[in-house]
């Protein structure tokens, strides 16, 4: 999406690695019983809609960006329904956990309140921040085991990050211990294109000079040359890249003084199935412990029934699900390990009563899914400056190594794209992931 935005206004050539637009932020379709991905919905509507990296809901964003999206394809507004699931207690607690202590055992709630009332202290690692923010009791119950899964074990070594995802407001914690409180967080309200993310990407691509199957292989920063997998050599004055920052540094053969910051990969399993007797109606749930190792389960069809095959809309007897499990890149599962995991997830969701008969099981691997920083790291700023010295401008969530949603990524793409004159085709190019 960022690359399309960068090429949208100035008409810069966009080099897309695959044969389809949208990157990981794109919908695709699968018929029940099929293992074939369709880039567009079939004419009869009998297919599940999935997304490459799980549910990509559009939260936040400047009004001008949201207006741009709505002009290309109408969106629908949703209000988050999300829970923390504690399997050993068979308990669902609305997210965020700390604002709903009344649903926990009174002794646990009382102890958690005392611990959260302590004066906060500076934190060097995510683990320290979790303990200082939520206390030992809630950390043992949820925050530490969940973040161990979510970060693939990095949480006790990486810097604190994205605290706004689970805000700590002691007044709300106290109010929530006695009664209901209003939802909080960055994604309490989100939008999504009524026709799917593929419609947004397709309409943006239709106004861009997208060159498909042009995967970047190597960059010669001194000569300002881009080499593609098909042997094409592209000269550039300025190169806008949405590729992960670490990858671009490797492709350029560049290094900086600081050690590279880490990232985690995610295996997303998309599932289409008959609805089970205990299927939640949440949009997604956070899980601190699972038999098969996943940390989050999302429900496409709880957000909108149009993720289901057309014939299922009336009865809602089917469900579309995405399941996320994080890995360190070096631990990417083999084909056999992946197959074993997929079957374990299917069995676990059936045991929980989320699903019954399975119609589609389709895994997607996201190599760079979440980006992190070491404590006091200067790598990100040093790497960005080094690339800019050679006319390479990183943009977007992975390009700049920051967490942000689709709306902010579009904004960044528009901002950087309009700085270049599309009339001179050597003046700029956008390399999309």
Cis peptide before 96 (omega within 30 of 0): yes
> Which own/partner contact pairs does 411-416 have at CB distance under 8 Å and 24+ positions apart?
411/5, 411/61, 411/62, 411/65, 412/2, 412/5, 413/1, 413/2, 413/3, 413/4, 413/5, 413/6, 413/8, 413/242, 414/5, 414/6, 414/8, 414/9, 414/65, 416/6, 416/240
Confidence at residue 421, expressed as pLDDT on a 0 to 100 scale: 55
Residues pairing with 197 in the sheet:
none
Confidence at residue 120, expressed as pLDDT on a 0 to 100 scale: 80
The residues of the chain scoring below 70 in pLDDT are: 421-431, 433
Q: In what order do the strands lie in the sheet with 209-211?
A: 209-211, 13-16, 428-432, 238-241, 392-394
Kind plus residue range of the DSSP H or E element containing 149: helix 144-150
CA distance 226 to 230: 12
Confidence at residue 230, expressed as pLDDT on a 0 to 100 scale: 94
CA distance 24 to 141: 33
Domains of the chain (ranges; CATH) run 2-77+190-261+373-432 (3.40.50.720), 82-178 (no CATH), 263-371 (3.90.660.20)
Place of tokens 């700590």: 168
Q: Tell me which DSSP letter residue 141 carries.
A: I
CA distance 314 to 308: 10
Q: How many CA atoms lie within 13 A of 110 on its CB side?
A: 3
CA distance 190 to 405: 11
> Which one, of 319, 289, 307, 303, lies nearest residue 143 by Cα?
289
Confidence at residue 61, expressed as pLDDT on a 0 to 100 scale: 84
Place of tokens 């389709």: 362
Q: Tell me which DSSP letter residue 264 carries.
A: E
Confidence at residue 428, expressed as pLDDT on a 0 to 100 scale: 55
Place of tokens 């997210």: 95
Residues pairing with 164 in the sheet:
none
> Which one, of 412, 391, 387, 417, lies nearest residue 402 by Cα?
412
Confidence at residue 9, expressed as pLDDT on a 0 to 100 scale: 75
**How many residues are present in the chain?**
433
Rg over CA atoms, the chain: 22
């Amino acid at each position: 999406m960022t690359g399309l935005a960068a090429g949208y206004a100035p008409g810069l050539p966009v080099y897309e690695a695959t044969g389809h637009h949208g990157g990981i932020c794109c919908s695709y379709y699968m018929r029940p019983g099929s293992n074939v991905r369709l880039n567009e919905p079939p004419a009869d509507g009998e297919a599940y809609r999935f997304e490459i990296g799980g549910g990509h809901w559009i939260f936040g964003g400047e009004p001008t960006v949201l207006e741009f999206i709505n002009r290309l394809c109408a969106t629908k507004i949703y209000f988050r329904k999300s829970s923390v699931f504690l399997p050993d207690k068979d308990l669902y607690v609305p997210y965020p956990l700390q604002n709903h202590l009344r649903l926990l055992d009174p002794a646990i709630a009382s102890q958690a309140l005392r611990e959260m009332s302590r004066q906060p202290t500076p934190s060097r690692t995510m683990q320290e921040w979790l303990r200082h923010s939520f206390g030992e009791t809630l950390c043992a119950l949820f925050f530490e085991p969940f973040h161990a899964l979510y970060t693939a074990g990095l949480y006790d070594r990486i810097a604190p990050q994205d605290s706004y995802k689970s805000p700590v407001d002691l007044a709300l914690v106290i109010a929530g211990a006695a009664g209901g409180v209003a939802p909080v967080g960055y994604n309490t309200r989100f939008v999504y294109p009524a026709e799917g993310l593929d419609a947004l990407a397709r309409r943006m691509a239709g106004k861009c000079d997208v060159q498909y199957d042009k995967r970047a292989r190597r960059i010669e920063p001194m000569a300002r040359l881009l080499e593609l997998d098909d042997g094409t050599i592209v000269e550039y004055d300025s190169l806008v890249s949405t590729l992960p920052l670490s990858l671009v540094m490797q492709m350029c053969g560049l290094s900086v003084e600081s050690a590279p910051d880490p990232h985690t990969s995610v295996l997303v399993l998309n599932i289409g199935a008959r609805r089970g007797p205990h299927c939640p109606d949440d949009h997604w749930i956070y899980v601190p412990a699972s038999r098969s190792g996943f940390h989050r389960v999302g429900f496409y069809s709880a957000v909108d029934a149009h993720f289901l095959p057309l014939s299922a809309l009336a009865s809602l007897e089917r469900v579309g699900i995405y399941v996320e499990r994080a890995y360190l890149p070096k631990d990417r599962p083999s084909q056999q390990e992946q197959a074993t995991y997929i079957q374990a997830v299917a069995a676990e969701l059936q045991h929980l009563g989320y699903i019954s008969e399975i119609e589609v099981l389709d895994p997607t691997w996201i190599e760079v899914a979440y980006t992190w920083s070491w404590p006091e790291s200067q790598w990100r700023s040093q790497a960005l400056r080094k690339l800019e010295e050679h006319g390479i401008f990183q943009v977007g969530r992975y390009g700049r190594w920051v967490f942000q949603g689709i709306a902010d990524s579009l904004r960044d793409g528009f901002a950087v794209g309009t700085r270049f004159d599309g009339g001179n085709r050597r003046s700029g190019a956008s390399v999309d992931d």
